[in-house]
């Protein structure tokens, strides 16, 4: 037996539409994001879960609350499932970051996994935070079905852990808002069940991608 973790990326936010880096700042769901959350709620209502765990950031909580109107699950909030902290980059778009912080932006674009964004965290730090917390959740809810609502880079870290990918390598897969992905976790063993399911989003053309 293993814990089955199904993880949803939050719905599209106002800052997603404006292409501003959110990190650990809050931005409300856009109208499109609310629709995405409602659609993924309908899709998830056909499945069974024991508990809902979400990041405590507003966009994840808002998405989780929409989903939980359908599922009515016990709901826990988890600070370790937050998005990566981007420090001085947060609230700005890439053009503004490059203009104001050219050296830091260069290292960010090079995907140096050890580079700590001033005031934020590195990819390596986030990876350790996320993977250790997911394993703790899997142990806490051993052999149960856990639904998580979190963030794009949390999903990315889970994929890198599952397939033992180098953190310095660029991501080569999509992470859509309100997509559905599932993993089996048994101790140190991680297995991918499904990735990026978007059938519930396609018909209304509400897709966006990280």
This prediction has a pTM of 0.94
Q: Is 83 a catalytic residue?
A: yes
CATH number at residue 28: 3.40.50.1240
Confidence of residue 202 (pLDDT cuts 50, 70, 90): confident
pLDDT attached to residue 209: 52
Q: Which of 4, 10, 90, 121 is catalytic?
A: 10
Q: Is 171 part of a structural domain of the chain? A: yes
What mean pLDDT is predicted for residues 156-161?
A: 98
Q: Is 108 part of a structural domain of the chain? A: no
Q: Is 96 part of a structural domain of the chain? A: no
Please say if the pLDDT value at position 80 is more than 70: yes
pLDDT attached to residue 103: 95
- Comparing CA positions, the residue from 167, 89, 88, 162 lying closest to residue 127 is 167
Contact yes or no for 43/199 (Cβ under 8 A): yes
Q: Is 79 part of a structural domain of the chain? A: yes
pLDDT attached to residue 12: 96
pLDDT attached to residue 1: 79
Q: Is 62 a catalytic residue?
A: no
Confidence of residue 204 (pLDDT cuts 50, 70, 90): low
Q: Is 45 part of a structural domain of the chain? A: yes
Please say if the pLDDT value at position 76 is more than 60: yes
Q: Is 181 part of a structural domain of the chain? A: yes
Q: Is 97 part of a structural domain of the chain? A: no
Note the pLDDT tens digit of each residue in 112-147: 999 999 999 999 999 999 999 999 999 999 999 999
Q: Which of 4, 38, 62, 83 is catalytic?
A: 83
Please say if the pLDDT value at position 15 is more than 90: yes
Q: Is 70 part of a structural domain of the chain? A: yes
Instruction: Tell me the three-class secondary structure of the chain, residue by residue.
Output: CCEEEEEEECCCEHHHHCCECCCCCCCCECHHHHHHHHHHHHHHCCCCCCEEEEECCHHHHHHHHHHHHHHCCCEEEEHHHCCCCCHHHCCCEHHHHHHHCHHHHHHHHCCCCCCCCCCCCCHHHHHHHHHHHHHHHHHHCCCCEEEEEECHHHHHHHHHHHCCCCCCCCCCCCCECCCEEEEEEECCEEEEEEEEECHHHHCCCCCCEC
pLDDT attached to residue 127: 98
Structural domain for 17, as ranges: 3-84+122-202
Which residues make Cβ contacts (< 8 Å) with residue 128, sequence separation at least 6? none
Counting residues of the chain whose pLDDT is more than 90, the rounded percentage is 95
Q: How far are the Cα atoms of 23, 103, 135 from residue 132, in angstroms, in the given order?
A: 20, 31, 5
Give me the number of domains the chain comprises.
1
Counting residues of the chain whose pLDDT is more than 70, the rounded percentage is 96
Please say if the pLDDT value at position 207 is more than 90: no
Contact yes or no for 193/184 (Cβ under 8 A): yes
Which residues make Cβ contacts (< 8 Å) with residue 80, sequence separation at least 6? 129, 130, 132, 133
Please say if the pLDDT value at position 160 is more than 80: yes
């Amino acid at each position: 037996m293993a814990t089955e973790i199904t993880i949803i990326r939050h719905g599209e936010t106002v800052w997603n539409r404006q292409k501003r880096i959110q990190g650990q700042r809050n931005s409300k769901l856009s109208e499109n994001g609310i629709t995405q959350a409602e659609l993924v709620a309908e899709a998830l209502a056909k499945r069974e879960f024991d508990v809902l765990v979400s990041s405590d950031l507003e966009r994840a909580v808002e998405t989780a609350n929409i989903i939980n109107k359908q599922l009515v699950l016990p709901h826990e909030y988890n600070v370790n499932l937050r998005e990566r902290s981007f420090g001085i980059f947060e609230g700005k778009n890439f053009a503004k970051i490059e203009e104001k912080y050219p050296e830091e932006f260069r290292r960010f674009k090079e995907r140096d996994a050890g580079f700590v964004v001033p005031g934020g965290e590195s990819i390596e730090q986030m990876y350790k935070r996320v993977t250790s917390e997911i394993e703790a959740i899997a142990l806490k809810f051993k052999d149960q079905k856990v639904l998580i609502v979190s963030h794009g880079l949390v999903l990315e870290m889970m994929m890198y852990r599952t397939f033992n990918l180098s953190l310095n390598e660029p991501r080569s897969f999509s992470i859509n808002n309100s997509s559905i992905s599932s993993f089996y976790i048994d101790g140190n063993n991680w297995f991918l069940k499904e990735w990026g399911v978007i059938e519930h989003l396609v018909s209304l053309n509400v897709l966006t991608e990280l």
